[in-house]
Amino acid sequence: MSDAKTQKTALVVSAHSADFVWRAGGAIALHVAQGYRVHIVCLSYGERGESAKLWRKGQMTEAKVKAARHTEACAAAEVLGASIEFFDLGDYPLQLDNEALLRLADVYRRELPQFVLTHSLKDPYNYDHPRAADLAQEARIIAQAEGYKPGEPILGAPPVYCFEPHQPEQCDWKPDVLLDITSVWDKKYQAIQCMAGQEHLWEYYTRVALQRGVQAKRNIGITAGRDIIHGEGYQSLFPRVTENLA
Amino acid sequence: MSDAKTQKTALVVSAHSADFVWRAGGAIALHVAQGYRVHIVCLSYGERGESAKLWRKGQMTEAKVKAARHTEACAAAEVLGASIEFFDLGDYPLQLDNEALLRLADVYRRELPQFVLTHSLKDPYNYDHPRAADLAQEARIIAQAEGYKPGEPILGAPPVYCFEPHQPEQCDWKPDVLLDITSVWDKKYQAIQCMAGQEHLWEYYTRVALQRGVQAKRNIGITAGRDIIHGEGYQSLFPRVTENLA
Amino acid sequence: MSDAKTQKTALVVSAHSADFVWRAGGAIALHVAQGYRVHIVCLSYGERGESAKLWRKGQMTEAKVKAARHTEACAAAEVLGASIEFFDLGDYPLQLDNEALLRLADVYRRELPQFVLTHSLKDPYNYDHPRAADLAQEARIIAQAEGYKPGEPILGAPPVYCFEPHQPEQCDWKPDVLLDITSVWDKKYQAIQCMAGQEHLWEYYTRVALQRGVQAKRNIGITAGRDIIHGEGYQSLFPRVTENLA
Amino acid sequence: MSDAKTQKTALVVSAHSADFVWRAGGAIALHVAQGYRVHIVCLSYGERGESAKLWRKGQMTEAKVKAARHTEACAAAEVLGASIEFFDLGDYPLQLDNEALLRLADVYRRELPQFVLTHSLKDPYNYDHPRAADLAQEARIIAQAEGYKPGEPILGAPPVYCFEPHQPEQCDWKPDVLLDITSVWDKKYQAIQCMAGQEHLWEYYTRVALQRGVQAKRNIGITAGRDIIHGEGYQSLFPRVTENLA
Amino acid sequence: MSDAKTQKTALVVSAHSADFVWRAGGAIALHVAQGYRVHIVCLSYGERGESAKLWRKGQMTEAKVKAARHTEACAAAEVLGASIEFFDLGDYPLQLDNEALLRLADVYRRELPQFVLTHSLKDPYNYDHPRAADLAQEARIIAQAEGYKPGEPILGAPPVYCFEPHQPEQCDWKPDVLLDITSVWDKKYQAIQCMAGQEHLWEYYTRVALQRGVQAKRNIGITAGRDIIHGEGYQSLFPRVTENLA
Amino acid sequence: MSDAKTQKTALVVSAHSADFVWRAGGAIALHVAQGYRVHIVCLSYGERGESAKLWRKGQMTEAKVKAARHTEACAAAEVLGASIEFFDLGDYPLQLDNEALLRLADVYRRELPQFVLTHSLKDPYNYDHPRAADLAQEARIIAQAEGYKPGEPILGAPPVYCFEPHQPEQCDWKPDVLLDITSVWDKKYQAIQCMAGQEHLWEYYTRVALQRGVQAKRNIGITAGRDIIHGEGYQSLFPRVTENLA
């Protein structure tokens, strides 16, 4: 049983309200299962750029699209076992300013996460994604500064991982971590199914999970005995500090 | 207490007979302290290129230089707690061929290491170093193949780490692992002192260890409470497979 | 004879009012000759940074410089057979904001281009250039979104090409397309001559065209029989979708 | 109907006898359907490194493995409609020398291909693959030289494409061409099924084809009306010479 | 003795008020000793992000921290022999806008420096640093434009050098210049000691100087006779124009 | 007047017998004019790959081609004022082995050059070029080793510069030095004219020189007063050690 004071936490910074599901749903469910509290920040609902199916229904307004996306994202977060909040900053383009930056820094100060998940640093198909990653990185730095809201407990140096973009090679994204999510795949797929507006992506990201699973197995060696079926890839932005290289 | 069958092992592939000391002495001592058997392969003695002080003594022959280097390297390995063998392939240039490749593949098959340490992939100051790294990589691949000496137990997929070259930026070497070697620094420095022929490097690599220590501390956060003083940097060549991101 | 509904179109996004001439004049004339409608957007007149000769005349005001640049650019566009519009956003620095972004997105929606030409992603000699390229890319993405001005026909995924910067290697610009502009070189050179204020560049860009011509010939092979004299280089930002590799 | 003199040709240089199937089977079938003659050179049978399942059967010899691999590869080539030859140079490591280089140069001279398919330039999991790519490139250059076997018709400058490695990001492989292989997918899958010894890869490469298909669709735009289901990715090594950018 | 009209000048653009000391103190003192006038612009005091020790004293306000940092920086500049000015733009995040850009462009116009020193282009630990480097670059470009404040003498094309960040490899910073600062090391260390609030960095940057000194010696060759002990590394952003390659 | 003992020297390592003319003729003539002794090593005559025009004459043998190339290269070297020697190792492929490596190391020991010019590290159009650059680098390293032919004066650490390949961007070659060769352009062009067999390159490399000249001028600033017309670009492989940054 975990205690609020000592429970480990993780933070996910998602540009649009569904990104955390496709790209980090496995990591979220896995760490929740390990006793972590995982908190998700959705910077926007992706109402303009990631809701094509909803708009095609007709009779839509931005408010209706946002409400639908809100409902879907909350349902997915619940399946995964994470808490979620929405900054509702608008998308295409994602509207970031100093206020959004400090608001996210305050989330860091409140959550004091052990690690952070966010977007890739580059994405020629989606300018909101790298912008979110930049915000996540800079807010983390501000939360580390003694001179920002002096007196508050400051953030340590949690590792930051970039989750997988839609077309990984075009984003110069190269995974250096393969996370074994086999044990929580059913939860991730259940969360994926909450995204009624983007059904065309369900099978795409199922295949992504299977490919990363095969690759994970290759990188431990076929004789390792551990059966990995589903995986998620991550690219880390900082060196890992450790006492063991195996 | 460890048993030969179940003891974990590590393999170090060193181009010249002193490289393992400056670049990986901390990792060796640390894993020996953790119960690993660590085995070092020195591909050459570095008799031409890394023995300037010995040659300047005058009255030297290649045989004498090799003998002196052999003695120093054995002493350093003993201090660190590792076993060592010498391929004596000649340096400047390091003379590699198919026979050397398969000989090293056989070492992999014999040791079945959990991880491998070797040189950086590029070094414009030293062509033997990347050549050794290439050999270490290719021999590992051959040792993984069922069709090489069929029937023998094959190698899994141990991670390979490149240790720090002399001028890291010029070698495009970027550490993604910072190993905390504080607890074994005294052993590493004792091993360094075995290298009588290269005294000018003792303080250089002491400073390297202190800089990597400060950087390691930075990457866990100053509030982490763990006191890191000495470090070693490594660049990994393969993605890490894991179930935890903290 | 082409019909407004079915005519293929291309869009050129130029930071300053002369860039499209030096860097893409051949592509413009060539596709006009092939029946395309080509539309040019000049984000600024380059009144501060690219009009040295005009300012040196003395008795100049910003308004006079802009007027002269407007006249030159219109003349060049006419020679090339393209339509042109001016956003007049100011240069050095180019002043981009959300309004400029959506204004350009609307041009995309109106033109629905088959391909897009703009600046390189990096240029240490000119900060306006990569800024224009960024705007061109992000406006394209917004024009693709169903939720932006819902109901309007949305943009497909036209390829985007970066044209050649003044010092290509310093901009990390690497051409992966060499366009044969031999058949329209006379038109391009005529357009170049409209740029009275930058006469020192006429011969520079003539030589660029000749070098790219020689290189184009090298990349089809000397036995190909096709006589290429003038070329333009482009770097594509997205993978090409095709059914033939020859 | 095509005539030997004028028929267009393509050349595939494969390190091991099955690589051409997983990685380029679609391109082969597609161009055969377009009237090309496609010729495959297998530098080795992959008898050591790519035949694990055969070796595990027991009672195997290298000769038996090679024979089985020969049969499978010929069957796959026949399904795809290509001719095939085997250099039988040995694998793990692939044994290349001057003789192999000139032998391949002579194949280039004989085939005079319009384009060439081979491996990625880097592959940390497989040293034979980049070695094959290097050979394919250098043999092409020699076949272009007037002074090599003077008097023979020389090769032009056919584009060279690297097909997809097993773990694309780890190989720094970035596709800039997405080939629509929907129309020949059934042939490719039939050829894949000839590889009885590597059944675990059938579904892996089916998923690769589906992912590249989705990505191809994304890069033409969803409104393009063309239905792409299966794709193959390629990275080109030389600039494309063209007269049209759409 | 130098005359204001003809004296050579250099410009240092520092994000926070101490950066110029650790990273460029040697270059400043060295060129002052050679008769240059060196001017330092501190864009902020680093009051939030680089003043941890001051904040930990308690009873602090932002005004007090700034005043302390002002005093320290002025003392260090005096030791080094440079003039200094403070833009006081705020840090974490450094608040840059058009006004700051033109203010810095005006400093360029006033100083007309022979060379410029600033931060690295990337720093995942500190977003203010690359932002300062960007400002320094763009202001330089504006100061070169005839149309900016027409009539004023314009800037030439002074080389720009990036000084060493705290964790060089993580910033993709690669020195291509090693400056011999042996003759002014005592001045640099005296300036370092002015930074009472960051005592933990004194020894860190002493070791940096010693490592760069050893590397400088390696890059001239041990037989060169010149005794280099302390160095500073720089990465240049533009090609060097010269008439001699030795 | 210079004395053999104290005269400064430079070494040029050229894969084929004409490369030094197109790529480094200006640097050679310039340093000869400054009193340097410049020595050229041609590893091959380029008889197969760079002598198309000679072969097309008919009635040719390899011996005749080599003789013609020898004559041309000697004439060009004489015009430039340099000494020249030929290793005659064969081209396409350039045949390098241990003997060639040590032979070149001995040239380094004999010449003790202040700087070295050679090919780019990559060239997808010409495998002999990077191979020559590799040899030039490794031979330099061996000549620095005290243990190679102990007792001989060893080489220092002369900078190595890569001269411009035929298609610079395709070779990932990026010049960081622009050499002003205006004063010796007539000599370079005279040397170029000695290359009767490659007349199509005369104008190509004249344009290269003019483009690099314009770029050199850009990088010193138009107000610098120095009139640069012709230039050569170089990429340096090692950091420059200096005491002045202007």
Token duo for residue E171 = 């910033």
**Contacts of residue E172 in chain A, CB cutoff 8 Å?**
none
Minimum CA–CA partner of B217 in chain E: E167
**Residue tagged 């092409």 (tokens):** D140
D58 φ/ψ sector (left φ>0, alpha ψ -120 to 50, else beta): left
Minimum CA–CA partner of E124 in chain B: B219
pLDDT for the residue numbered C2: 41
* Identity of the residue numbered B106: D
- Contact C/E (≥3 CB pairs under 8 Å): yes
Please judge whether D127 and B141 are an interchain contact, meaning their C-beta atoms are less than 8 angstroms apart. yes
C149 in helix, strand or coil?
coil
Minimum CA–CA partner of C150 in chain A: A55
Long-range contacts of residues F29-33, Cβ cutoff 8 Å, at least 24 apart: F29/F80, F29/F81, F29/F181, F29/F184, F29/F187, F29/F188, F29/F191, F30/E243, F30/F179, F30/F181, F30/F183, F30/F184, F31/E244, F31/E245, F32/F80, F32/F81, F32/F82, F33/F81, F33/F183, F33/F184
Please judge whether A142 and E56 are an interchain contact, meaning their C-beta atoms are less than 8 angstroms apart. no
Distance CA B39, CA B84 (A): 6
Token duo for residue F34 = 């400054």
Question: Is D76 in contact with D119 (CB distance < 8 Å)?
Answer: no
Residue length of chain C:
246
**D106-120, E90-104, E213-227: least confidently modelled range:** E213-227
Residue F157 to chain D, least CA–CA distance (Å): 31
State pLDDT tens for residues D85-96.
999 999 999 999
pLDDT for the residue numbered B225: 65
**Percent of chain B at pLDDT above 90?**
89
Whether the per-residue pLDDT at D145 is higher than 80: the answer is yes
Q: Mutation test of the interface with chain F: which of D146, D176, D236, D238, choosing the one with the most F Cβ atoms within 10 A?
A: D146
F221 φ/ψ sector (left φ>0, alpha ψ -120 to 50, else beta): left
Please judge whether C219 and D238 are an interchain contact, meaning their C-beta atoms are less than 8 angstroms apart. yes
Distance CA C59, CA E231 (A): 51
Average pLDDT taken over every residue of chain E: 95
Of C168, C203, C210, the CB nearest to F169: C168
Please judge whether A142 and E49 are an interchain contact, meaning their C-beta atoms are less than 8 angstroms apart. yes
Q: Show the CA angle centred on residue A139, arms to residues A81 and A113, nearest 5°.
A: 35
E53-70 as b/e: b if 16+ CB within 10 A: ebbeeeebeeeebbebbb
Cα dihedral value C110, C111, C115, C120, nearest 10: -70
**Contacts of residue B146 in chain D, CB cutoff 8 Å?**
48, 51-52, 55-56
Whether the per-residue pLDDT at B207 is higher than 70: the answer is yes
Please judge whether F170 and C174 are an interchain contact, meaning their C-beta atoms are less than 8 angstroms apart. yes
Token duo for residue D69 = 């691999």
Residue B245 to chain E, least CA–CA distance (Å): 19
Minimum CA–CA partner of F140 in chain B: B125
Please judge whether C167 and F125 are an interchain contact, meaning their C-beta atoms are less than 8 angstroms apart. no
Strand partners, D11: D39, D116
Question: Is F105 in contact with B48 (CB distance < 8 Å)?
Answer: no
Residue C136 to chain A, least CA–CA distance (Å): 11
**Contacts of residue B173 in chain E, CB cutoff 8 Å?**
169
Average pLDDT over residues B33-50: 97
pLDDT for the residue numbered D186: 98
CA neighbor of A174 nearest in space, from A115, A218, A232, A233: A233
**Contacts of residue C161 in chain D, CB cutoff 8 Å?**
245
Question: Is C240 in contact with D176 (CB distance < 8 Å)?
Answer: yes
Minimum CA–CA partner of B167 in chain E: E215
State pLDDT tens for residues F141-184.
999 999 999 999 999 999 999 999 999 999 999 999 999 999 99
Residue D169 to chain A, least CA–CA distance (Å): 5
- Contact D/F (≥3 CB pairs under 8 Å): yes
Q: Show the CA angle centred on residue C12, arms to residues C10 and C18, nearest 5°.
A: 145
CA distances from D40 to D49, D81, D110, D238 (A): 20, 11, 13, 21
| A63: Cα within 13 Å, side-chain hemisphere | 0
**Percent of chain E at pLDDT above 90?**
90
- Contact F/C (≥3 CB pairs under 8 Å): yes
Of B157, B220, B246, the CB nearest to A219: B157
Of D10, D179, D245, the CB nearest to C242: D179
In this prediction, residue B200 has a pLDDT band, given cuts at 50, 70 and 90, of: confident
Q: What is this model's ipTM?
A: 0.95
Please judge whether B210 and E207 are an interchain contact, meaning their C-beta atoms are less than 8 angstroms apart. yes
In this prediction, residue F2 has a pLDDT band, given cuts at 50, 70 and 90, of: very low
Question: Is D45 in contact with D91 (CB distance < 8 Å)?
Answer: yes
Distance CA D39, CA F42 (A): 38
Minimum CA–CA partner of F216 in chain C: C167
Minimum CA–CA partner of A167 in chain D: D215
The dihedral built from the CA positions of residue D191, D196, D202 and D203, taken in this order, carries a sign that is: positive
Please judge whether B169 and E173 are an interchain contact, meaning their C-beta atoms are less than 8 angstroms apart. yes
Minimum CA–CA partner of A218 in chain B: B157
Question: Is D42 in contact with D16 (CB distance < 8 Å)?
Answer: yes
* Identity of the residue numbered F162: C
Helices and strands, counts by H and E, chain F: 7, 8
Question: Is A94 in contact with A126 (CB distance < 8 Å)?
Answer: no
Please judge whether A211 and D210 are an interchain contact, meaning their C-beta atoms are less than 8 angstroms apart. no
Average pLDDT over residues E196-208: 91
DSSP-derived secondary structure for B125-169: T-SHHHHHHHHHHHHHHHHT-TTSSTTSPPP----EEEE--SSGG
Distance CA D128, CA D47 (A): 12
In this prediction, residue E1 has a pLDDT band, given cuts at 50, 70 and 90, of: very low
Please judge whether F51 and D147 are an interchain contact, meaning their C-beta atoms are less than 8 angstroms apart. yes
State pLDDT tens for residues C208-224.
999 999 999 999 975 56
In this prediction, residue F89 has a pLDDT band, given cuts at 50, 70 and 90, of: very high
D62-78 as b/e: b if 16+ CB within 10 A: eeebbebbbebbbbbbe
**Residue tagged 């080793």 (tokens):** F145
In this prediction, residue F1 has a pLDDT band, given cuts at 50, 70 and 90, of: very low
Whether the per-residue pLDDT at D2 is higher than 60: the answer is no
Please judge whether A124 and C237 are an interchain contact, meaning their C-beta atoms are less than 8 angstroms apart. yes
**A34-38, A195-199, B209-213, E131-135: least confidently modelled range:** A195-199
* Identity of the residue numbered A195: M
Please judge whether F52 and D146 are an interchain contact, meaning their C-beta atoms are less than 8 angstroms apart. yes
**B70-79, C196-205, D2-11, D75-84: least confidently modelled range:** D2-11
Whether the per-residue pLDDT at C34 is higher than 70: the answer is yes
Q: What is the residue-level pLDDT of chain A in tens, covering all 246 positions?
A: 345 568 999 999 999 999 999 999 999 999 999 999 999 999 999 999 999 989 988 889 999 999 999 999 999 999 999 999 999 999 999 999 999 999 999 999 999 999 999 999 999 999 999 999 999 999 999 999 999 999 999 999 999 999 999 999 999 999 999 999 999 999 999 999 999 878 889 999 999 999 999 999 999 975 556 789 999 999 999 999 999 999
Distance CA A215, CA A229 (A): 10
Distance CA A162, CA A233 (A): 9
> In what side-by-side order are the strands of the sheet with B37-42?
A240-242, B177-180, B231-236, B160-163, B115-118, B9-14, B37-42, B83-86
State pLDDT tens for residues C69-126.
999 999 999 999 999 999 999 999 999 999 999 999 999 999 999 999 999 999 999 9
Q: Show the CA angle centred on residue D62, arms to residues D60 and D68, nearest 5°.
A: 75
